Structure 1
């Protein structure tokens, strides 16, 4: 069986450095808010080309803390609206609700599966405060279009970069300096997840906020620590969301190889693009150019087929593991049925009905990639 993602194999590829470093932390006697966490925050802020990085317990908390901080700073108020893609993992929507704000679901463009800017503009009201693009599957959203829209209407931009560690926007943005900007520096604030399966994954949960805004960073960090910046003194009704020293150590080690691993993901994606018989099989992709660039780090390589379930069963029989991202869209989940159950979002629903994710681990060999392609092309 070719696994969809072999986490054991990935972590083994960082040995013995990984185990040695974890053992040092275990013996140090310091497990929260120590040197390892401070070092990773500095490294990740520098990597994303932002001034601040605030580590958190997970990606959901990272997004939630951005909104909670903006509420404390008076930028947003209860019931204010945030435009968010409808075709995302439910955590993106939950972060807005947890902060007492209102998610407004926006259809994507099927060709990219990212936010449709024209549709987003039609959703703006006097209560709209921010646009929350999701760099779905590792592909950067149309940040120029989002920037233009946010500028016209005076909105904040908050990135959900949970699937886009290391993706690079090479077209520049006004006021952002360098034309080459990484995910995490394309907005007012960004949230990352370090769930083990991410391109940059810990050994458990973890997350981070990146931003140039010192006041936002300080406020979010305080809220994440029970609302405290001084021990036993609490400015806000905070939560407990902290990255521990063990996870920070793992992330520092893995960060050093992230660009190399992302490059390998692009090589595999290029091979899929060039060699799968897309037309005969009636498959579609979000890759529409011959040259794949750094704006996509391929956290997921999706293919779309009306016969998705049949194709998945066939590949399983061939010894190839695949996944679906995601089988049920947020507005069809029981948890959100009351708010969105009557909403019709046909493009989102088509994506969730047809999407199938192929293996794209950076440790996938050329022989395994060729075998996957040959098996897909043999599908009748």
Structure 2
């Protein structure tokens, strides 16, 4: 076992000076004494929208709320169908159910693990109202196909870019393609806060205004409520932190990409490992570095014995979760998704990961396959 274990993820002081900048931002917000909404939230929303080349960003309590609000302001509700990738974090599907709509699960591409427009098209019915492309693991989906499909079939695209802040498709940031998009600022995300947070993004002024009102109790003016709304607002202290993190997002993503290239150079041809594949015109910001092997469970156990932590995204696909038996998918009905659940392993990768830590991961994987074929 390693003298110093390798964590799956760690918060490191990268780039240098960022921790002090965050501390000063928190102190500034604390001294401002405006703890709900206010200047910090407004400033971050504007800066984030500018970064995404979008009209507006509306801060909310978390990424799940962002998805629910995105669907709600589009008027999606009971009886409507929403096509979602079968290989995604369950929050995407839960959000569809939360507004009363029916999730329709579609298989991902077996190489990129992202949903494609060609596959989504097979699931369109007269009740389909929207498609949610999820930019999984940090790789941008191929958005041209989705935009063309939406125009042809009069559907709405809602991007879930919680894992891919800063990724681009043909030079354009993800989160700017959909009529409405949703993201999360969970601490481990590429753009992470110090707690929960999320945002709804849109370039439609009417939808932006509706989202702001809906998330603040349905009011434009305090105590004057136009609609029945909810309370889901980005915390002021988190907004202050995110303003700093956003300034460094491209640098943080570049470091993730550099670390990913080390793995991509060191692991080809090792056992039966399948490495991440990036589509043409897409960038990958490696929120997750996902490999696949039929020996996943044994490899994970071996790495754990060596002091190397890993993760699985995701061990039980949505359609096989107890919560979703009512959708009536059977085992074997989504074979690509099920194969991903059985073979995927996420390796440690985070800004500030040391050369020694990464070399330990690579050496351990080589050693395992030398011994087990």
TM-score normalised by length of structure 1: 0.92
Give, in whole Å, the separation in 2 of the partners of 1:143 and 1:294: 9
User: 1:57 aligned to 2:61?
Assistant: yes
1:227 aligned residue: 218
For 2:143, the equivalent position in structure 1 comes to 143
Contact 2:140 2:282 (8 Å CA) reproduced = no
RMSD across aligned positions (CA): 1.8
Structure 1 gaps of 5+ residues are 171-179
Runs of 5+ unmatched residues, structure 2: none
Instruction: State the alpha-carbon separation in 2 of the partners of residues 234 and 68 from structure 1.
Output: 17
SS at match of 2:346: strand
Equivalence for 2:26: 22
How many correspondences in the alignment? 364
| Post-superposition offset of 1:116 | 3.5
Alignment partner of 1:353 out of 342, 351, 361: 342
Within the candidate set 244, 251, 254, 1:253 is matched to 244
Residue among 371, 376, 379 paired with 2:360: 371
Match of 1:175 in 2: none
Distance 2:43 2:276 in 1: 36
CA distance in 1, matches of 2:281, 2:251: 14
* Structure 2 residue aligned with 1:88: 88
- Higher alpha-carbon deviation: 315-324 or 334-343: 334-343
Matched, 1:48 2:52: yes
Query: Counterpart of 1:169?
Result: 169
Corresponding residue for residue 287 of structure 1: 277
Q: 1:5 to 1:280 in 2, by over 3 A?
A: closer
Aligned residues of 2:116 and 2:145 also touching (Cα < 8 A): no
Q: Residue 322 and residue 119 in structure 1: after superposition, are their counterparts in 2 closer, same or farther (change >3 A)?
A: same
**How far off is 1:9 after superposition?**
4.9
Q: Report the CA distance between 1:50 and its aligned residue.
A: 0.5
Once the 2 structures are TM-superposed, how far is the Cα of residue 56 of structure 1 from its aligned partner? Answer: 0.4
Q: Does 1:209 align with 2:200?
A: yes
CA distance in 1, matches of 2:101, 2:205: 23
Contact 2:161 2:174 in 1 (8 A): yes
**SS state of the match for residue 3, structure 1?**
coil
TM-score, normalised to structure 2's length?
A: 0.93
